[in-house]
Amino acid sequence: MNANFTWSTTERGEKAILYNNYVYGLRRENQNGSLVYICTFKSCSRTITLKDNEIIKSNGTTDNHDPKLPENVQAVLSGLKRRVLTDINEPIGKIYEEEVKKFRRDNGSAGLIPIYSTWKTTLYNIRKTLLPPTPTLLSSITVPSDMYL
Ligand SMILES: [Zn+2]
């Protein structure tokens, strides 16, 4: 199980968990001390269970809605997505560092920003859309004979 998560806050300022780009709010505390968090998206019932700051259980199904992030985190993600597409020669890791630095300067803390590894796959997938599916060397292209003039 991917156990990477980041502490965050809900739009109402309550402590929340950012997990796979989804925000989970505290639902209840179990008698054994574990904490159940539920996806904050309306009508989504996905839960994750935390004990000693580790995810020990998730109810398994995939979130089938768009990630719902706090507005300022959403803004960073949009900025990253845009730059991944426009600054095609910049490494994604460098773009991430610059954008997070900017966020830190404006907001004082990057505590709500998911760690790089959480967003890496998303950002790489976005950049991949710009590239041809497989790099093709010109010399490796064979022209079917019926295409000759
Ligand atoms: Zn959900």
Separation of CA 103 and ligand 1 centre (Å): 26
CA dist., res. 47 & res. 94, Å (int): 33
Average pLDDT value over all residues in the chain: 78
Report the domain count for the chain. 2
Domain final residue, candidates 58, 84, 103: 58
Question: Helix axis angle, 116-128 relative to 71-86, nearest 10°?
Answer: 40
The fraction of the chain above a pLDDT of 90, given in percent, is 22
119 part of a folded domain: yes
Separation of CA 61 and ligand 1 centre (Å): 9
105 part of a folded domain: yes
Do 47 and 83 sit in the same domain of this protein? no
| pLDDT at residue 31 in the model | 94
64 part of a folded domain: no
pLDDT digits (tens, 9 = 90+) for 77-128: 888 989 999 998 999 999 998 988 888 787 765 456 666 777 787 888 888 8
Separation of CA 46 and ligand 1 centre (Å): 5
Separation of CA 62 and ligand 1 centre (Å): 8
pLDDT over 60 at 2, yes or no: no
- Rounded to the nearest angstrom, the gap between the alpha carbon of residue 111 and the centroid of all alpha carbons in its chain is 15
Strands 54-58 and 5-9: unpaired
Structure-token match 């505290």, residue found: 26
Separation of CA 149 and ligand 1 centre (Å): 57
Separation of CA 86 and ligand 1 centre (Å): 30
Domain that holds residue 50: 5-58
CA dist., res. 1 & res. 3, Å (int): 6
Ion ligand 1 contact residues with beta carbon within 5 A: 39, 41, 44, 46, 63
53 part of a folded domain: yes
Name every residue whose Cβ is closer than 8 Å to that of residue 59 and which is 6 or more positions away in sequence: 45, 46, 47, 48
103 part of a folded domain: yes
149 part of a folded domain: no
pLDDT over 80 at 133, yes or no: no
Do 47 and 76 sit in the same domain of this protein? no
Q: What is the pTM of this model?
A: 0.47
Do 107 and 75 sit in the same domain of this protein? yes
Separation of CA 136 and ligand 1 centre (Å): 39
Do 75 and 40 sit in the same domain of this protein? no
